[in-house]
Structure 1
């Protein structure tokens, strides 16, 4: 029996519309709809093309669905400039559903350590909900950020990604096109995700993305992102940006370090601080300006020079600072497969997947899983029941 539900889920996982898939198969969009709703069954030639497109085996579409919906469209936090891309949010829920399913399966063999991200979220929301009683909401948000940095034990921003993974957040890289930098969400199983676009981006800008999405996870839990007005969305985006600024650049230490800068309106004066905090020159100046350390005129001059030097795209030493890639899932897979808690061959055979399917899903480079594949050999003969024809000495 052909399961149209599986075709729909894997199509959405690959961010393809029915029209886009139809074009790849040289069939009508109506035909794809009929396949997915099981009004018709694709011919052998079409099924063969589907397995190539989605890196699965043909039996994948003829086996029972195994994915359940654990993520919600309204829980995914996109950037303001990504509002026009929200039509693709449903496809991102499919990605979260698939990813979470396999992570749950792999982790089922382990006794996982306790993580503190959910507790930190609850603390942050409690403080966040008290902000209406505060005369200075910015100061209130700064307290939340400082508490988060302390509880996550972030000593230096260079190990931010590692500290977030250690806290219980799952961080993956995914090609989401040019319009989406990153997004974050909590699943209904209380599993937090940060998804980073894998387009080329400097390490310092990625740090800000991580802190921004952390802000969403801690401050905007269960907020219906899909029903927000444009102004409401701008407001929570500003909160996430401010949180990131406060989190990455703690006030007291930053004030002390900034006092050493002589030419506050010159972007090149911020390079030493950039290397210390692993934050972009623009983010450093923004923090200083909001703290009242630059005048309005100095701020305008700074941005004029920033544009003149083309630093909004490429800053000094961007190429010299290594981009840290997520490592938690790699470590999980290595532990699982090297200790034979699961067989990769069995996983691929049981779910009718190709190796490249899992590599793409989990943000791994092509060929990463190859070393865990066992050589499947069939033993036609063995020596257990051989009767020797000749004995020694005869």
Structure 2
């Protein structure tokens, strides 16, 4: 129990983004930062008064410090080199760990077991052509065809992938990893446009599913995951159908129509056209220069929008089910949802 409390104190402090001194100050000097260090190292045990003060300062319930660890997240990867400070990176990872722990605990209450299978693990990826083959194989195996994906997050959750949305800084795109060495996890920033959320989720799926040749560097792997995401949103044969196999120029009107149909950004569609040699690299570079000169085009403000829903909902659905079947109490459900009991009760009644 001492080890659990020690780890939970450090976890909650990391989650809050507080230093040892800042936490001590927020506790109004109930204990020194040196004492908190000893708590986190398991050298001292806080008494009930200190635990209550810690819970208040860290915005957690007192029972948080006694909750056993059931989740270990490995191979966390950011979509690109993060501009976030190390403290914020650590806080994001703690939030993810806490969310997944609650997710798995809820599934255990409902006797739901995950048995994720990667259907393309035996395809070794060394270049873009291999990515195209892997995407075709995955779409066939998952029986989702080559048309537009109406809801990417829903698709991933149906395939037993845990999707977590975080309210995060704009410098954070997403991350992926494994919980308990077997449960795939994808995290995305809820503040981005729907097209970017779709692309990011599928880019992270690429990190989870693709088996890269051992000598590939990280920069190339990122590019190949970009290609994977684009290919999932609009597969090769679909791109050829929409644009043809060879073009000198592509109109903005065509790109907007594709964006509104397939939920892929204008810039990602042009990257697909370049990758598939529909346009030459020089034409693609000219397009990128034009984009960088126009801030609205760069952010794609006023250039069409995909009308759809991209929101993680499976956790809440399971929570309502467990509550309705009285498998867990209303109080426990509120705790798992990280909500006040009154708030969850009102929300549950509305369903």
Q: TM-score range by the shorter chain?
A: 0.7 to 0.9
Q: Is 1:138 matched with 2:128? A: yes
**343, 356, 359: which is aligned to 2:337?**
359
Once the two structures are superposed, what CA deviation does each residue of 1:308-334 show, in whole Å capped at 9, x if it has no partner? 332222333566735521011111111
Query: What is the RMSD of the two structures over their aligned residues, measured on CA atoms?
Result: 3.6
Alpha-carbon distance between aligned partners in 2 of 1:145 and 1:309, rounded to the nearest angstrom: 33
**212, 216, 234: which is aligned to 2:207?**
216
Q: Is 1:148 matched with 2:138? A: yes
Q: Is 1:127 matched with 2:123? A: yes
- Checking the alignment, whether the CA contact within 8 Å between 1:337 and 1:372 is kept in structure 2 is no
Give the match for residue 39 of structure 2.
35
Give the match for residue 272 of structure 1.
257
Alpha-carbon distance between aligned partners in 2 of 1:262 and 1:322, rounded to the nearest angstrom: 30
Q: Which protein shows a greater Rg? A: 1
Decide whether aligned partners of structure 1 residues 101 and 80 sit closer, same or farther in structure 2, where only a CA change above 3 A counts. closer
Alpha-carbon distance between aligned partners in 2 of 1:210 and 1:248, rounded to the nearest angstrom: 11
Alpha-carbon distance between aligned partners in 2 of 1:185 and 1:359, rounded to the nearest angstrom: 22
TM-score (structure 2 length as normaliser):
0.82
Decide whether aligned partners of structure 1 residues 367 and 201 sit closer, same or farther in structure 2, where only a CA change above 3 A counts. farther
Once the two structures are superposed, what CA deviation does each residue of 1:353-376 show, in whole Å capped at 9, x if it has no partner? xx4x6435xxx89976233789xx
Residue 202 of structure 1 and its aligned partner are, at CA, apart by 0.9
How many equivalent pairs are there? 342
Alpha-carbon distance between aligned partners in 2 of 1:320 and 1:278, rounded to the nearest angstrom: 5
Alpha-carbon distance between aligned partners in 2 of 1:365 and 1:195, rounded to the nearest angstrom: 24
Q: Is 1:328 matched with 2:328? A: no
Q: Secondary structure at the match of 2:228?
A: helix
Give the match for residue 370 of structure 1.
345
Alpha-carbon distance between aligned partners in 2 of 1:96 and 1:340, rounded to the nearest angstrom: 27
Structure 1: runs of 5 or more not aligned: 349-354, 375-394
Q: Secondary structure at the match of 1:156?
A: coil
**Structure 1 residues 42-51 or 146-155, which shifts more?**
42-51
- Checking the alignment, whether the CA contact within 8 Å between 1:70 and 1:97 is kept in structure 2 is yes
Decide whether aligned partners of structure 1 residues 85 and 255 sit closer, same or farther in structure 2, where only a CA change above 3 A counts. farther
Residue 277 of structure 1 and its aligned partner are, at CA, apart by 1.0
Q: Secondary structure at the match of 2:274?
A: helix
Give the match for residue 159 of structure 1.
151
Once the two structures are superposed, what CA deviation does each residue of 1:191-237 show, in whole Å capped at 9, x if it has no partner? 11111122x2111111100110110110259x9xxxx99x8321221
Once the two structures are superposed, what CA deviation does each residue of 1:164-210 show, in whole Å capped at 9, x if it has no partner? 11000011112332321111111235111111122x21111111001
Matches for 1:291-370 after TM superposition, within 5 Å: 291-310=276-295, 311-316=297-302, 321-345=307-331, 347=332, 355=334, 358-360=336-338, 369-370=344-345
Alpha-carbon distance between aligned partners in 1 of 2:281 and 2:63, rounded to the nearest angstrom: 65
Residue 159 of structure 1 and its aligned partner are, at CA, apart by 1.8
Decide whether aligned partners of structure 1 residues 58 and 84 sit closer, same or farther in structure 2, where only a CA change above 3 A counts. closer
Q: Secondary structure at the match of 1:77?
A: strand
Once the two structures are superposed, what CA deviation does each residue of 1:77-110 show, in whole Å capped at 9, x if it has no partner? 1122227656766555544443333223322243
Alpha-carbon distance between aligned partners in 2 of 1:101 and 1:188, rounded to the nearest angstrom: 10
Q: Secondary structure at the match of 2:187?
A: strand
Alpha-carbon distance between aligned partners in 2 of 1:110 and 1:282, rounded to the nearest angstrom: 43
Q: Secondary structure at the match of 1:204?
A: helix
**Structure 1 residues 266-275 or 94-103, which shifts more?**
94-103
- Checking the alignment, whether the CA contact within 8 Å between 1:124 and 1:218 is kept in structure 2 is yes
Give the match for residue 12 of structure 1.
14
Give the match for residue 274 of structure 2.
289
Give the match for residue 21 of structure 1.
23
TM-score (structure 1 length as normaliser):
0.74
Structure 2: runs of 5 or more not aligned: none
- Checking the alignment, whether the CA contact within 8 Å between 1:185 and 1:217 is kept in structure 2 is yes
Give the match for residue 73 of structure 2.
71
Q: Is 1:193 matched with 2:185? A: yes
Q: Is 1:202 matched with 2:193? A: yes
Alpha-carbon distance between aligned partners in 1 of 2:340 and 2:174, rounded to the nearest angstrom: 19
